Amino acid sequence: MTLLPMRPDFRPRHFQISFFAFALGFAALAGSALRGADSPVNPLAIAPGSFAPTVESLKRYQTPEWFRDAKFGIWAHWGPQAVPRAGDWYARQMYLQGHPQYEHHLKTYGHPSKFGYKDIIPLWKAEKWDPEALMALYVKAGAKYFVSMGVHHDNFDLWNSKFHRWNAVAMGPKRDVVGEWKHAAEKAGLHFGVSEHLGPSYAWFSPSHGWDQYGPTPGIPYDGNNPAYADLYHPAHNEPFRWGRSWYAKDAAWHQEWFNRIKDLVDQYQPDLLYTDGGIPFEETGLSLLAHFYNANQAAHAGKLEAVFNHKDMGTGIFIREAGAQDVERGVMPGINPLPWQTCTSIGDWFYSDGFKYKTTTEIVHMLADIVSKNGNMLLNVVLYADGSLPPEPRQFLDEMAAWMAVNGEAIHGTRPWKKFGEGPTVAAAGHFKEDTAYTPKDIRFTTKAGALYAITLGIPGGEVRITSLGRDAKIAEEKIASVRLLGSDEKLTWTQEPDALVIKVPPQLPTLHSAVFRIAFESLR
C-alpha cells in the first residue's frame, strides 16, 4: 500500500500535539505583533485624483498609447527561488513532503526543520548581475518596456521596503533590485514596470508551518513554526490555500500589510506598469491601491494617465476588464480583442530550473505575431541564473530575436490590428496555459501601420505564399494592391492578385529565420 502524504494545509486538528499547539499559538501572537495588529490599522490613504476606489470609477480607464505601441516587453521574474535551480513555487513546495522540490531540498540542503527557505535567501547574492548590460541586450531584442519582479509569493521584497525587514537591501544581494532595474531601464529608454505576487502569500506559505507526516522524521516542525520568523512565513492560521476565491486569505491585518507594502513599492519607484498575479485582491483594499496608482501617475504626468495595470480573469479576486490591460498567463486570446491586452509567458520555467525545456526563438516569434495581430502585447520572462547571469539558451534567444527584430520590427512596434487577425489552417487554443500551438508557413498574421498592411508567415515559406484574404473576390482590403515588398530584401518580388488569393513568389533566400514578413501597400499610399 502506498502511503500518501497529508498536505499540511488540510491536517486535522487532532493531529496536533500540545507542543505544536503551543508553538503555533505563540507564533500567531508574535506574528500579529510583528505586523502591528495591536496598533491602530492604517487607513487606505490614496492620492487625490480623478479615480475613486470603485468599479464604476476604474472602468473609465483608457490604455496609454505607449503601451499600445510597445508590443513586446521583457520581464525579470527573478529572486531567491532561483537559487535551488529547481523551478517555480520552490518556497512553498519544499515544505510539501513527497513533492520533487521537497526531495531536492532534502538532498541538497537538509531537512526543512533545520534549513528552511529563510536559509535560501542569504544564498541569493546576484554576484554577476549587471542590469545595464542586460538591458542593452533586451533593447536589441526589441523590448520597449521592462518589468522587474517586486515581490513573489515567497514574501521577500526586492526593494528597499519600509514595511518589511525581509528585503533585498537588508539581506541576500544587499542591493535595491527594483531600483537598479528601474535605473537601467530608463537609461536605455524603456518604460518600467513592477510585478507583485504578494496577495496569495499568506495562505500559499502555510506548508512551512507543517511537518513530515511519515518517514524517519514524522512530527518534527518545519522552521515556519518558529515565532522568530513569523513575519516571513506569516503567523500560524487555518486559512488553506486553494485555487479560486480562497486564493486570497481573509485576515484583515494581512490586507493592510499588503496595501502598505505595494503602495510603498508604487510610491518609491513610480512604475509605468503594475502587474498583479491574479485578480484585484482584497476588494476595497485592492481597489484603493489601484485608484492610488492611477491618481499618483496622473499627478506625475501633469494630469495625463500613463499607467498600465495588468490583472487576470482567473476566478481570483476582482476582475474588471476595462480597468487596465487584461493579462493572459501563458496563453492567447481567440481573436482581436477590442481592448489592449497582454500575454505573460516565460522562455523557460518562471524561475531557473535545471533541465527545463526552453521555448525556441521560432516559437516566440510566432506567438508574438499572433498576439500582436489580436491587439495584444507579449511580456516575456527571460530566465536568469541566481547570480544574475544569463543561461546559454536565453542568451541565444536574445541574439536571434535581435536579428529578427532588426529586419521585421516595423511589422510589430507601433502597429494595430487589421480587419482580421489572420488566416491559415491552424486554430490556436485560447485561454490561460494554452501556448503550445504548432503553426505552419500557411498560417499568416496581419498587422497594420500608416496605411500599410504587414503579412507575417508563421514559418518559412517555400515557393510561394498565398494570402486568400487579399484575393480580388475577397473584398476585404477594399483597395487595389499597389506593391508588395519582403522586409529585409531589395529584390523585386513577383506577385499577382488572383480572384482567390494574393500570390507572392518567394525568393530562394530569405533575409531572416523563423518567418517572412511582407509589406503590402495599396493604391491610396502612392
Res 171: pLDDT? 98
- What's the pLDDT score for residue 10? 31
* Contact residues for 43 (Cβ-Cβ < 8 A; gap 6+): none
Query: Do 51-83+124-199+241-411 and 440-525 have matching folds?
Result: no
pLDDT, position 24:
37
In the CATH scheme, what is the code of domain 51-83+124-199+241-411?
3.20.20.80
C-alpha cell at 500: 482567390
CB 373 within 8 A of CB 421: yes
Where are the chain's structural domains? 8-40+85-122+201-240, 51-83+124-199+241-411, 440-525
pLDDT mean for each 10 residues of the chain (526 residues): 32 30 37 40 86 98 98 98 98 98 98 98 98 99 99 98 98 98 98 98 97 96 98 94 85 97 98 98 97 98 98 96 98 97 98 98 98 98 98 98 98 98 95 94 98 98 96 88 97 96 96 98 78
Task: Find, among 359, 327, 71, the residue nearest to 196 by Cα.
Answer: 327
Contact in structure between 113 and 94 (CB atoms under 8 Å): no
Contacts of 352 (CB under 8 A, 6+ apart): 82, 85, 87, 383, 384, 385, 386, 391
Provide the pLDDT for residue 525: 58
Whether CATH 2.60.40.1180 fits 440-525: yes
* Strands ordered across the beta sheet of 191-196: 308-310, 273-276, 191-196, 145-151, 72-76, 376-381, 341-346, 326-329
Q: What's the angle, vertex CA 74, arms to CA 72 and CA 77, rounded to 5?
A: 145
Helices of type H across 111-175: 117-120, 131-140
- Collapsing DSSP to helix, strand or coil, 379 comes out as strand
pTM of the model: 0.92
C-alpha cell recorded at residue 2: 502506498
What pLDDT sits at residue 42? 52
Burial bucket for residue 125 (CB in 10 Å: 0-12, 13-18, 19+): middle
Alpha-helix runs per DSSP H in 229-318: 230-233, 252-269, 284-300
Element (H, E) at 191: strand 191-196
Indicate the SS3 state at residue 36: coil
Give me the pLDDT at residue 246, please. 77
